[in-house]
Amino acid sequence: DPSAAPATWIWRDGALVPWREATVHVTSVGHASVAAVFEGIKAYRAVDGDRLLVFRLDDHLERLYESARLCRTVIPFPPDELRTAVLETLRANGYRDDTYVRPWAFPRGLIREQMVPAGVECEVVIDTWPFTSHLFRERACRAGVSTWTRPGDSQLPARVKAFSNYHNGRLAVMEARVNGHDWPVLLNDRGQVSEGAGACIALVRRGTVVTPSLTSALLAGITRSTVLDLLRDLGVPVEEREVDRTELALADEVFFVGTGWEVLPVGTIDGLVVGDGGTGPVTARLERAYADTVRGVLPARPGWLTEVPR
Ligand code: PMP
């Protein structure tokens, strides 16, 4: 819940500082934001109730550096230091329950140049706040294919997790709400399915899970990669390929996957009921496997779960 009360400590540029004192000059929020990149990570309370487990921390940090590289900005900290900083921020705030972690990097200092120059050094911030998991709540959402499309890789690359990319998803979300849906599904500039505004998408047809390929103009979702692994473990066939919008309408199940949205079943697509309109059987098995993975019930793959030190 982004409106949750602020944390006590926030990590900023090498040290924990009191959250309320972590301010920037007003001149820092204009053009600097255009080149700002970020990550969204979750730390789940372990099944034993006693530990906090950060999910795929190194993979998220790797993507943060990749986003910065593609934006040609410089993160002046090595990955190890940001890794320690995430754990230290969670520890200092004393979290015991599910917590969202938001690291981001924005050009340092006074940026008056509209075209933020390449090579600009960034300030790095790690904010945290509590969230409530939606796993296992019956909550199939209404989705609609948007008239807004995801820009292609040579237009505004979706592979970059930059704040500026979110204006596109925002337009689509507002349109979806006007039309009585909860969330949009975006097509790419070739008219194929790409992803949701803040999550990747997959469908199930005759027992096979199909998700748009990484070259379909989407963010290379870490949850997407997780669920593909989990589905293979469950013996469910998976396909990564171009997906037509009409395949969504004929699917037995459709679901979104993302760090924030976890596994979110889709009950209607453009008003057409998907399956029985609730959580389908494959989605339900996947949701269980995902919850058991992030809470440390299932054996973790190397690097997937990092315990927050006390
Ligand atoms: N696409 C977009 C546009 C997103 O914002 C997100 C959330 N980060 C995702 C996909 C899902 O990515 P991940 O599973 O890594 O959170």
For residue 41, the model assigns a pLDDT of 98
Instruction: Tell me if 203 sits within 8 A of 253, measured CB to CB.
Output: yes
- Residue 112 alpha carbon to ligand 1 centre in Å: 30
- The CA-atom distances, in angstroms, between 108 and each of 82, 112, 121 are 17, 11, 6
- CB of 258 closer than 6 A to ligand 1? yes
For residue 1, the model assigns a pLDDT of 77
Q: Which residues of the chain have pLDDT under 50?
A: none
For residue 148, the model assigns a pLDDT of 98
For residue 114, the model assigns a pLDDT of 86
ipTM above 0.95 for this complex: yes
For residue 276, the model assigns a pLDDT of 96
- CB of 262 closer than 6 A to ligand 1? no
For residue 137, the model assigns a pLDDT of 87
- Residue 201 alpha carbon to ligand 1 centre in Å: 10
Q: What angle, 0 to 180 degrees and rounded to 10, lies between the N-to-C axes of helices 281-294 and 222-233?
A: 110
For residue 78, the model assigns a pLDDT of 98
- CB of 253 closer than 6 A to ligand 1? no
Q: What angle, 0 to 180 degrees and rounded to 10, lies between the N-to-C axes of helices 222-233 and 57-71?
A: 140
For residue 28, the model assigns a pLDDT of 85
**Region 141-294: CATH code:** 3.20.10.10
Point out the ligand 1 atom lying closest to the alpha carbon of residue 165.
Answer: 3
For residue 17, the model assigns a pLDDT of 98
Q: What residues act catalytically?
A: 161
- CB of 212 closer than 6 A to ligand 1? no
The domain spans of the chain are 9-130, 141-294
Record: fold of 9-130: D-amino Acid Aminotransferase; Chain A, domain 1 (3.30.470)
- Residue 271 alpha carbon to ligand 1 centre in Å: 25
Q: Give, using CA atoms, the residue closest to atom 1 of ligand 1.
A: 199
For residue 4, the model assigns a pLDDT of 85
C-alpha 145: how far from chain center: 20
| Nearest-angstrom CA–CA distance, 179 and 217 | 24
- CB of 194 closer than 6 A to ligand 1? no
